[in-house]
Amino acid sequence: MVQLTVSLPDSVKAYIDEQIASGRCTSADELFVALIEQEQEQEQEQRAKQQVNRMLRSRLQDEKWSGLRRLTSGGISGARN
């Protein structure tokens, strides 16, 4: 395990002390690890949502072009007859 020294404002130290006193965590280390893991999970969720949105946009774009091709191929040939 790596040891890291961090300088914090007094208000942040007070918050950490409150979290320990309330029983949310047993140490500052535990709180920091929990917060960082939570942040990592949120980032992973955000990346997954972005990937799904890209896939949906791509799918919608493909469907849009397929629909346009059907319309133009039918409409152009129908207009010539």
Per-residue pLDDT tens over the stretch 1-43: 899 999 999 999 999 999 999 999 999 999 999 999 999 999 9
Round to whole Å and give the CA distance between 33 and 24: 13
Q: Are 40 and 31 in contact (CB under 8 A)?
A: no
């960082």: which residue's tokens? 36
User: Which residues lie closer than 8 Å to 75 by C-beta, 6 or more apart?
Assistant: none
Assign 23 to helix, strand or coil: coil
Q: Give the predicted TM-score (pTM) of the model.
A: 0.63
Per-residue pLDDT tens over the stretch 41-72: 999 999 999 999 888 888 888 777 787 777 77
Round to whole Å and give the CA distance between 15 and 57: 43
